[in-house]
Amino acid sequence: MSTDSTPYAPRIRYIELLERNVSNTTRLEIYRDGAQIEPTAATYTLIRPDGVGVVQDAPATVLGDGTLEYTHPSNHFPTTINLGEGYVQSWTATISGEDYVFRRSVAVVLRRLYPTVSDTDLETEYSDLGNLRPASLSSYQTYIDSSWYEILRRVRRTGMGYEYLVLTPEAFHDTLLHLSLYKIFRDFHSSLGQAGNARFLDLANAHLQHYNAEYDAINFVYDENHEGRADEPNKRTRGRPVIYLTAPGPNRFLKRK
């Protein structure tokens, strides 16, 4: 392996989720100096939590833009394999004649959680967004994706749970919508500046407030046991619990709405 200290940057925005009992394609992009690196060769390894290899040092495909790709056949994740966290991916990429190893955490899951927001939802809120979109963009998908991964990282950081065990993706809809609009209008303001249009900064700040309020109000149906069905169908799990910093008041036994 290389002893070179060049800090190449693998684009890892979130834990990799691989679904059980189906074929899974996983990819990795590597960057340096604002450009994507094109390795000349690569291998791929996936290790289970008990240290046993699902696949070890298998040849990975290097796509035309330098993206590394490996496809797991469905038999790599049979119904007998353990679900959950603790799996580790290792990509060994040959760059300028040296081998570099990039690792990423992996969870094997029944199903991924997908976002429910698209350009259609954004333009429902602001009908002129399509006209305001820069010519360099065909959609606002980059903002939506950035917001989605940020929300998922926050879910894990704040101890809300594992997003792939949530059975109600619509629970994150308003949170994702407002964060996406915040990022869009903040970028518009950054590009135009105060002299361009202060309205964009006001809209960005308004949507940031809505985002934080919606995030605190998230509640969902959860599958704690990895069974693909609700643990308690008529009970919704609140994302952020209420924490009392003083003794409970006289109405402490009233149900929280």
Give how far Cα 112 sits from Cα of 45, 196, 228, Å: 21, 41, 11
Which distant-in-sequence residues (6+ apart) come within 8 Å of 207 by Cβ? 178, 179, 181, 182, 185
Give pLDDT tens digits for 194-210. Answer: 555 688 999 999 999 99
Q: Structural domains in the chain?
A: 9-109 (2.60.40.1220), 119-238 (no CATH)
**CB of 219 within 8 A of CB of 173?**
no
pLDDT of residue 166 exceeding 50: yes
Rounded to 5 degrees, φ, ψ at 215 are -65, -40
Percent of the chain at pLDDT exceeding 70: 86
Least confident of 8-12, 80-84, 89-93: 80-84
Give pLDDT tens digits for 53-68. Answer: 999 999 999 999 999 9
What pLDDT is attached to residue 235?
59
Span 15-43, mean pLDDT? 97
What pLDDT is attached to residue 234?
61
What pLDDT is attached to residue 218?
92
Which tokens belong to 138? Answer: 């065909």
DSSP 165-180: GBS-GGGGHHHHHHHH
pTM (two decimals): 0.84
Least confident of 1-10, 134-143, 198-207, 248-257: 248-257
Is the four-CA dihedral 139, 143, 129, 217 of positive or negative sign?
positive
**CB of 227 within 8 A of CB of 249?**
no
Give pLDDT tens digits for 88-141. Answer: 999 999 999 999 999 999 999 999 999 999 999 999 999 999 999 988 999 999
Closest CA to 212 of 239, 256, 179: 179
Q: What is the mean pLDDT of the chain?
A: 88
More confident residue, 4 or 8: 8
What pLDDT is attached to residue 179?
98
Q: What is the CA radius of gyration of the chain?
A: 22
Span 181-191, mean pLDDT? 93
Residue 233 binned pLDDT confidence (cut-offs 50, 70, 90): low
**CB of 221 within 8 A of CB of 167?**
yes
CA distance 3 to 16: 27
Give pLDDT tens digits for 235-247. Answer: 556 655 444 344 4
Percent of the chain at pLDDT exceeding 90: 74
What pLDDT is attached to residue 254?
36
Which tokens belong to 134? Answer: 């820069």
Give pLDDT tens digits for 206-228. Answer: 999 999 999 999 998 888 888 88
